[in-house]
C-alpha cells in the first residue's frame, strides 16, 4: 500500500455561535459553525430568523467600495503585415 496517501485526522473541537460545542474527527483541528443541531429550526421545532452575519450587506458594501471598476480586457496585438518579395524564388531543377 502507498504511504502518505490519506490526510491526517484530528480530534476536532467544533464550536457553534449559540455556544454549543462538541468534539468529532476531521482534517482540521478547530471548526466554527453558524448553526448546529442544537439551534437549527428543523431540530428545535421553533421558527427563528437566521442571519449569517449580514452577508448580503457585506457584499453590497464591498461592491460600493470597489466602485464600478471594469476589468481591462486583453486586446490581441494587431497582426503585422507579412511582406512578400516581389521576385519569385528560383527552384533547383
Q: List per-residue pLDDT tens for the chain, 93 residues long.
A: 788 898 999 999 999 988 999 999 999 999 998 888 888 877 777 776 666 667 778 888 888 888 766 555 666 666 666 666 666 666 665
Q: Which CATH class is domain 7-45?
A: few secondary structures
Q: What is the pTM of this model?
A: 0.45
What pLDDT is attached to residue 13? 95
* Cα–Cα–Cα angle for 4, 15, 30, rounded to 5 degrees: 25
- In the chain, where the domains are located: 7-45
Amino acid at each position: 500500500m502507498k504511504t502518505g496517501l490519506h490526510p491526517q485526522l484530528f480530534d476536532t473541537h467544533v464550536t457553534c455561535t449559540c455556544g454549543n460545542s462538541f468534539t468529532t474527527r476531521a482534517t482540521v483541528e478547530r471548526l466554527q459553525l453558524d448553526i448546529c443541531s442544537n439551534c437549527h429550526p428543523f431540530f428545535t421545532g421553533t421558527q427563528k430568523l437566521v442571519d449569517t452575519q449580514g452577508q448580503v450587506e457585506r457584499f453590497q458594501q464591498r461592491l460600493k467600495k470597489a466602485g464600478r471598476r471594469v476589468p481591462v480586457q486583453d486586446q490581441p496585438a494587431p497582426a503585422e503585415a507579412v511582406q512578400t518579395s516581389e521576385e519569385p524564388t528560383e527552384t533547383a531543377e
